[in-house]
Structure 1
């Protein structure tokens, strides 16, 4: 049997040690860089050589394979040493981190590629091609081998996947459960492990039938459940487009936590209450929306109500804040963060003074109610981070009574909740890179 070899510059047999297989890329780059070290080049010349030659050597391979993180870091280190002019007999000072040099020039960087990030982007591009052009020769080949009965990224319900024998859990390198279930038939399918009434994994059944190391592999978080049950093909297309948009924005500059307009989870033991108010000019009424979520983004409660009178925008926001505090008191939450997208109302709630404005009595009402709480904070967020509360406020149009949802959101806002949770997870991963 042939143990190694290349076709069109890429290995056609990938063994278990991917680092050993792709180590030739590092050798090629190191050889090229060592040949340049003897040349007296200015910084501009070194920059051109790095971008046009060194960082393009691995591009073709990264279109098809995910390189080991350790290999990407080693290659980045080689390029970084060359940039700062370090040789074997001398050491230079690294005036800036490599991550900073990989940011765009308009924000102070040099536009170098972080190989790990670029590798993921190239593979994501291949996934986009499979979604956009599924009938190509490559698309048909991959479908026949990896997902013959579904479409790319389609999430199933486990009716055709065996618990034992099929590779279906994220657990390298076997991707299978170690031991068969204790109290389930040997040929059971994954669908038996799903609680369809609560739309989540049946955690008690899983923990009573599998070894602890197998049970922990299941991601029992609400986000995973939400993707599992509501991630149809149209939603997945939106998610892929969203991923690409976030990635493009990241490449335009450092994606920092304080620059991303999104919903941030509260600390453990706290609950975040988002509120918003909208005006319906043709009806001469106002709608208010409130949503309460915990540390992991689970919805504790949601409320939508129409107020049968016409007021200005600030008053509408103040009424929404008052209704939010009223809902909090009714449900018995004591450590809360009140968050809205009206900067004027947030500032008024933060200041401990009596206001003479039209909404001053509403601010005083919220302040008085907050005294009965154990811990109380007020935060401002942009509209994009307040989308669910805004959607609930708009749903109040035409309502003749208050609607409250416990531990769920209306079906019309389920996709918004999914996208907000996905943005939070994806942004956190990008910031952590």
Structure 2
């Protein structure tokens, strides 16, 4: 066979080989394989992220008085309006104090009074606002962090301890105010409270709150800053803290009660029915209502500004039955002259007595004894009058802000 014929035969044999074999042979021979596909298109350029901006309608930040020797920032919870009330209390207590209360506006909230607010999305995730807010905080001498919540949203990793450390580096002294579920440990609470909400099968927040309270307790221990609690039962969870009573505007809630109705109006206005124990007591209340013993009114979704009128038209108010303590709603009802019933554990009553020198005039009733207690109150009009007067006096003495301001002095007067 001639060379030409041999080469022609080899070419025919080559063309019969599968394409993958031919490509492999070329590679081994040092020749790049013939491209079998078009090159991938170049990736499209990614659009640049939208620049972070601030909404045009944000309110101006209220400035503390520059001549004030103590400039206090309170936030960011304002639960039941308490941040605002503590701020006003310390200002009334001493003229050299200037205080600002802050909380973001939460959709569906109760519209409590506040000095400064921004929409919740701005608070949580606007870097420009957070940077400006941090510089603003540096102009204060003291910061009272409520409920161990971050002052700057997601900035600084949503960690109030990092915020406190930064402020300390700028000469700002911090303290913590525990409100309730932020520090109340479910595993401890169930040991002393047979009606604890954490004993309810399937209560969805128990595991979450156990982790939160454990984390917050450890953070407070590590920080070593002053700690206050808004209700006396929380001293079970933070024994080294001080009770700083909640504050109500007693003049706003005051009511003249000259006539008691033969069938008293009993109101129950639970902010969170599953925690207040509404399910435990409402069957009794409905039965007494049907029997004509009381006129029962369940209050829900009423703005805070309308509650004084609700209590003016009520004789008896039922507070809470699962937690074992009392809070803002009970104080408002007492200030309005209502008789208040609720489940308050004896150790909590003893703490109130030791701190104030007076007994808590909240009628003890639990889900098992409510009917008997309520019938007894209704059957004794003169007792109703005495209890109403005692409640007004207690609210004026303990919850008008004077005691709270004295407690907070230990923080505001401390070394800086």
The TM-score range, normalised by the shorter chain, is under 0.3
Q: TM-score normalized by structure 1?
A: 0.23
Larger radius of gyration: 2
